[in-house]
Amino acid sequence: MARPAIATMTTIALTALGALTFASSPAWSSSSVQTIAFIRHGEKPEKGLGQLSCQGLNRSLALPPVIAKVLGKPDFIFAPNPSDRKEDDGVDYDYIRPLATIEPTAISFGLPVDTSIGVSDRKDLNKALNNSKLRNARILVAWEHKKIDNIVSDLLEANNAASTDVPKWKGDDFDSIYVVTITRNGEAAKATLEIKHQGLNGQPQTCPHS
C-alpha cells in the first residue's frame, strides 16, 4: 500500500512545481527593454534636391561603427518613404536624404530598411515603434529633425515620461543621436531620453574618389 502513497506524493510535488513555474513565467516574459536611436539625415547641398551633399555622404559612410558603439547591432531600421516628396528651396523632390544616410549602416549590418512610412506620418511611425514584436529590440530611425522632436515627445508621453524633456533639434545639428529607452514590466512602462553625439562633424566636403 506504500507505493500508491509515494506515487500520489510525487504527483502532488510535480504539480506544485509546475504551478510555481507557470505562475512565475509571465513575470519574466512580460519584462522588456526597447532602445530606439534617432538620427537626423546627413548634411545637404545648398539647393536641397532631396539629396545629401558630399559632406553628408562622408558622414553616412563613417556612421556604421558609431551606431555599433552607441546602439549595438540594430534589429530594425526605419527611414521615411523616399517617394514621399518634400520641398527643398521651393521645389518638390523625392526625399532621399534619410535613407541615403542610413544605407551604409544597413549594408554594414546586413539589414533591410523599412521605408513604408511617409516622413510626415508621425502616428504611423509611433504605432510601428510600439508594436509588441519590437519590445525587446534595438531600433535605428533616420528621419527629418523637425519631426524627430515630436516623435520622441510622443514616445515619452506614452510611457510615463515628461515630453517637455525633449530639446528642440537645432537646424545646424547633424550630429546628435536621441536615444529613447523604454523599460516595460507587465502593464507598467517607463521611458528615458539620453542625448548622444556621433562625433562626425567636419567631414570632407569633397566626395570619395572625386
> Tens-of-pLDDT digits for all 210 residues of the chain?
444 443 333 333 333 334 333 333 343 357 999 999 999 999 999 999 999 999 999 999 999 999 999 999 999 999 999 998 988 888 999 999 999 999 999 999 999 999 999 999 999 999 999 999 999 999 999 999 999 999 999 999 999 998 877 999 999 999 999 999 999 998 899 999 999 999 999 999 999 988
pLDDT value, residue 14: 30
Cα 137 to Cα 111: distance, rounded to the nearest angstrom? 14
Residue 21 lies in a domain: no
Residue 181 lies in a domain: yes
Question: Which contacts (CB < 8 Å, 24+ apart) does range 112-118 have?
Answer: 112/77, 113/77, 113/78, 113/79, 114/76, 114/77, 114/78, 114/79, 115/78, 115/79, 115/80, 115/81, 115/82, 116/81, 117/78, 117/80, 117/81, 118/80, 118/81, 118/84
Residue 145 lies in a domain: yes
Residue 206 lies in a domain: no
Domain total in the chain: 1
pLDDT value, residue 7: 39
Cα 130 to Cα 113: distance, rounded to the nearest angstrom? 17
DSSP 112: -
**38: containing domain:** 32-197
Decide: 38 and 30 in contact? Cβ < 8 Å. no
Residues linked to residue 78 through DSSP beta bridges, in sequence order: 114, 141
Residue 18 lies in a domain: no
Query: Residue 105 sits in a domain of what CATH number?
Result: 3.40.50.1240
Residue 205 lies in a domain: no
Residue 20 lies in a domain: no
pLDDT value, residue 72: 98
Residue 187 lies in a domain: yes
Q: Cell match 509515494: residue?
A: 6
